[in-house]
Structure 1
């Protein structure tokens, strides 16, 4: 399995959802992210990162509240948003930053 840093180096935009199982708003984001992944199949990768199990990535990207979405392309942060985000807003950001 590829490491986190290898995954975000992709030419294909990678949307990372920093979440926790105990987080209510994170649970609200799950169906939104599935919708984004389906609508943008082949144009984006969606990865979920559990902050309790992946503290190094959480620390590296200064994730202080969840859910936090970070869009990477070729290892660069293209967009970042904290809180519940509407699927259409996510899709717009991906299209704008691809």
Structure 2
């Protein structure tokens, strides 16, 4: 997953031509650690059609606040400069993928 900060967020997410999932996480968060392999597997599966990125909330507190990532992990879905959806918490891979497909079905 591409690591994002305030420096590259605009370019990598808002200017991306691909639908993009951003996972807001913390290094110390156990639930985030549980979701990371799910995200990595989906990234591999959808390589070239959906971009997967991560933002560490303590490193990029302004971004975390802007996208209300007060519960972690928080997943924010973007396409064509538009925020399409937000999901929070631990979600099993099958359910996450179903939601991912619904959110990006017109992308």
User: Normalising to structure 2: TM-score of the pair?
Assistant: 0.82
Select the residue among 55, 59, 78 that pairs with 1:72.
78
Deviation at residue 42 of structure 1 after TM alignment: 0.8
* Cα-to-partner distance string for 1:32-86 (whole Å, 9 max, x where unaligned): 0011101111111111100000011111111111000011112211121100122
**Which ranges of structure 1 fall in alignment gaps of 5 or more residues?**
none
**Which ranges of structure 2 fall in alignment gaps of 5 or more residues?**
none
Root-mean-square deviation (CA), in Å? 1.7
Corresponding residue for residue 13 of structure 2: 8
User: Contact between 1:79 and 1:93, CA under 8 Å: does it hold in 2?
Assistant: no
SS of the aligned residue for 1:25 comes to: helix
User: Normalising to structure 1: TM-score of the pair?
Assistant: 0.89
Corresponding residue for residue 49 of structure 1: 55
Kindly indicate whether residue 101 of structure 2 is the aligned counterpart of residue 91 of structure 1. Answer: no
